[in-house]
Amino acid sequence: MRIVAKGLTYTYNPRSPFAVQALKGVDITIEEGEFFGIIGHTGSGKSTFLQHLNALVRLTGGYLKVGEYDLSSKKCDVLGLRAKVGMVFQYPEYQLFAETVEKDVMFGLKNFCRDMGEEEMRSAVREALETVGLDYEEVRDRSPFELSGGQKRRAAIAGVIVTKPEVLILDEPAAGLDPLGKKEIMQLLHGIHGGWCKTVVIVSHDMDEIAENCTRAAVFSEGKVVMEDTPAAIFARSDELLLLGLDIPVTAKCARILKERGIALDTDFTSDDLIRKVLAAYAARKEGRGC
Ligand code: ADP
Ligand code: MG
């Protein structure tokens, strides 16, 4: 499913003294198959944009199409859309509620797959929990509140992927986790991406995460998209990102320091690539070839 937004606008509390224009004309195209990143300051409109993608926020201005679903149309089949576009909110573990992990994960299925039998549902829950790296037999009858922080996050993600959505949207999926927990979340997303989950869209504050994982990304600023490109092209514009008050990946910081010292590297800002290029530059210097 291709996602195309043109001139998307959205105002919270319109016609009131508390009106806030969150989106001021968002243009963005996310192709099927991408692992797409969204970055930008707090308040730049990222979450408001995401919530448009499965009609949690109804479109009030502009054009938005997600696959064949035209959200600009009043006749849009919102339930059909939500079955195909899974949404994992920020800190999704706060939405765990059922007595057991199994019941929690099954909840989403009961909403979307009403004609599924009990056994089929159990096997879908098992598959979802195993996909997120939890042992079904071990966690199924436990309270979700007994799990560790990283496990709760993964159980909450299982509750969304249990319906196998074609597009998976995650708002800050790794926020607040320790480095290992973050790595596990990214590994699990890569594990499902390319199978039934064709497209992944993540919001992240972590520029290294974007540089290492995404095929393309968009930078939001004050309710608009100000850059949309590969991470390599976006982080090559680190001066502009810093001017916008955004961070840059550690690799981009290293590349800037090296450039100041006369070593200009053509890198895509993944750590593997940067290390390769630094070693090549070092070898070239040693041989007196310069760089
Ligand atoms: P981000 O996810 O990039 O931090 P948001 O989409 O949450 O940005 O917010 C964009 C703007 O809309 C901000 O100014 C924010 O304060 C405002 N906003 C977000 N949610 C609401 C809401 N429910 N009611 C009123 N204003 C909101
Ligand atoms: Mg947000």
Note whether 170 and 291 are same-domain residues: no
Report whether pLDDT(290) > 60.
no
Q: What is the pLDDT of residues 66-110, one digit of tens each?
A: 999 999 998 999 999 999 999 999 999 998 989 999 999 999 888
Which pLDDT does position 73 carry in this prediction?
A: 92
Atom of ligand 1 nearest to the CA of 18: 25
Could you give phi then psi for residue 284, rounded to 5 degrees?
-65, -40
Q: Give the model's confidence band at 288: pLDDT under 50 very low, under 70 low, under 90 confident, else very high.
A: confident
Report whether pLDDT(291) > 60.
no
Q: What is the pLDDT of residues 182-235, one digit of tens each?
A: 999 999 999 999 999 999 999 999 999 999 999 999 999 999 999 999 999 999
Paired tokens of 251: 């690799």
Amino acid letter, 112: F
Which pLDDT does position 289 carry in this prediction?
A: 64
Measured at the CA of 151, the angle between CA 170 and CA 231, to 5 degrees, comes to 35
Query: Which of 47, 170, 171, 204 has most ligand 1 atoms within 8 Å of CB, for mutation?
Result: 47
* Residue 12 in contact with ligand 1 by CB distance below 6 A: yes
Q: Residue 69: beta bridge partners?
A: 66
Note whether 203 and 268 are same-domain residues: no
User: What does pTM read for this prediction?
Assistant: 0.95
Note whether 83 and 34 are same-domain residues: yes
Ion ligand 2 — residues with CB < 5 Å: 47
* Residue 48 in contact with ligand 1 by CB distance below 6 A: yes
Among 246, 264, 282, the domain boundary falls at 246
Note whether 238 and 253 are same-domain residues: no
| pLDDT average, residue stretch 247-258 | 95
The two beta strands, 224-229 and 61-66, are unpaired
> In the chain, how many domains are there?
2
Note whether 239 and 290 are same-domain residues: no
User: The CATH number of the domain where 187 resides is what?
Assistant: 3.40.50.300
Report whether pLDDT(150) > 60.
yes
Q: How far apart, in whole angstroms, are the C-alpha atoms of residue 124 and residue 246?
A: 41
Note whether 233 and 253 are same-domain residues: no
**What is the percentage of the chain residues whose pLDDT exceeds 90?**
88
Atom of ligand 1 nearest to the CA of 42: 4
Note whether 282 and 180 are same-domain residues: no
Please tell me the residue having the least CA distance from ligand 1 atom 17. Answer: 22
Note whether 192 and 283 are same-domain residues: no
- Alpha-helical (H) ranges within 113-148 are 118-131, 136-139
* Nearest ligand (C-alpha, residue 24): 1
* Residue 43 in contact with ligand 1 by CB distance below 6 A: yes
Note whether 186 and 285 are same-domain residues: no
Residue span of the structural domain in which 170 resides: 3-96+166-246
Could you give phi then psi for residue 196, rounded to 5 degrees?
-65, -25
Assess if residue 52 is contained within a domain: yes
Note whether 10 and 74 are same-domain residues: yes
Paired tokens of 34: 């991408």
| pLDDT average, residue stretch 115-137 | 94
What value does the mean pLDDT of the chain take? 94
